[in-house]
Amino acid sequence: MSTAVPGSGADRQAAHRDGGSSVRKILITAVLVLVALYFLVPVYWVVIAATKTSGDLFATNGFWLADNFALIDNLRAVLSFDGGVFIRWFANTMLYAGVGAVLATYFAAAGGYALSRYEFRGRNVVFGAILGGVLVPGTATALPMFLLFSQLGLANTYWSVLIPSVVSPFGLFLCRIYADASISSSLMEAARLDGASELRIFHTVGLRIMTPALVTVFLFQLIAIWNNFFLPLIMLADENLYPITLGLNNWRSQTDRLPEFYELTTGGVLLSVIPLAVAMVVLQRFWRGGLTEGAVK
């Protein structure tokens, strides 16, 4: 039995491997820190900016607090301006994002489940068309949808923003992949032998098993609808139907002639970020589990 001699080739190779592993860890950590800063610095700036008056916003460093802490006054002004129109925008956004994300998740689950568990003619063609839909940007379909909704008399209504929001090609794709990995045919056969209908199997078996993927789809769709700007811009003309994104842009456009709108805009942005941050914190464990659980089954 041979032993490694100090300073031998085996020791040098082991030291080289350990050194290379340490370098990789340092590089990966550095990249992750840069990515975290890329996403967190704008949020930090918004929090700091929301505490300043319009004068302090440009008179002081953007990343440091001013002597006059005006956060409460700014938030109070945001909620009371123009009869509380921001609250109306917030409620509209909750409607668009909440209802749209729930319906989009359900439809994605139903479509993904059907494509995964049932054999029918043209299944691959349908799935290929869905993959094509994932690649089409929303801005490319906004104008055709506006013309269609105008002909139907639905433009400048809640439906013009809500109906397009219930479609999620990426969500359907993800649900199909997750259903392939997690739902077994034997489990469905056992449910059929117990007398369960196909619809009941989907709701009592399929949806429960697909819960991690559904939470992931819901989170993606919620964020996408909450931050959607171009579709409401095309569809809506009534300010009372605006979501937060469109309303805040309307305030920002008035800052050149009315500097006090800087306070309203920064305060409104801060309030608009809070629901998304809460959703991320609450759902991130399901998101993380949903992306990995189906891959190892």
Q: How far apart are CA 22 and CA 31, in angstroms?
A: 14
- How many Cβ atoms are within 10 Å of 77's Cβ, its own excluded? 16
Looking at the domain assignment, is residue 2 inside a domain? no
Looking at the domain assignment, is residue 289 inside a domain? yes
Looking at the structure, tell me whether residues 36 and 181 fall in a common domain. no
State residue 295's pLDDT score.
Answer: 41
Matching residue, tokens 């008035």: 254
Looking at the structure, tell me whether residues 80 and 42 fall in a common domain. no
Q: How far apart are CA 27 and CA 1, in angstroms?
A: 39
Range of the domain at 176: 71-296
- Band of residue 13 on the pLDDT scale cut at 50, 70, 90: low
Q: Are 231 and 156 contacting, i.e. CB atoms less than 8 angstroms apart?
A: no
State pLDDT tens for residues 157-167. Answer: 999 999 999 98
Matching residue, tokens 């456009």: 253
Sign of CA dihedral 42, 47, 53, 59: negative
Q: What is the pTM of this model?
A: 0.82
> Pick the residue with more confidence: 259 or 103?
103
Percent of the chain with pLDDT over 70: 89
Looking at the structure, tell me whether residues 287 and 145 fall in a common domain. yes
Looking at the structure, tell me whether residues 77 and 37 fall in a common domain. no
Q: How far apart are CA 190 and CA 139, in angstroms?
A: 46
State residue 292's pLDDT score.
Answer: 44
Count of domains forming the chain: 2
Answer whether residue 88 shows pLDDT above 50.
yes
Q: How far apart are CA 229 and CA 243, in angstroms?
A: 8
**Average pLDDT score over residue span 213-229:** 91
State pLDDT tens for residues 113-147. Answer: 999 888 888 888 988 888 887 788 877 888 888 99
- Band of residue 61 on the pLDDT scale cut at 50, 70, 90: confident
Report the chain's mean pLDDT, rounded to a whole number.
Answer: 85
Max Cα-Cα span within the chain: 87
Q: Are 235 and 158 contacting, i.e. CB atoms less than 8 angstroms apart?
A: no
Sign of CA dihedral 231, 233, 236, 238: positive
Looking at the structure, tell me whether residues 157 and 90 fall in a common domain. yes
Looking at the structure, tell me whether residues 207 and 245 fall in a common domain. yes
Q: How far apart are CA 22 and CA 30, in angstroms?
A: 12
Looking at the structure, tell me whether residues 99 and 190 fall in a common domain. yes
Answer whether residue 272 shows pLDDT above 80.
yes
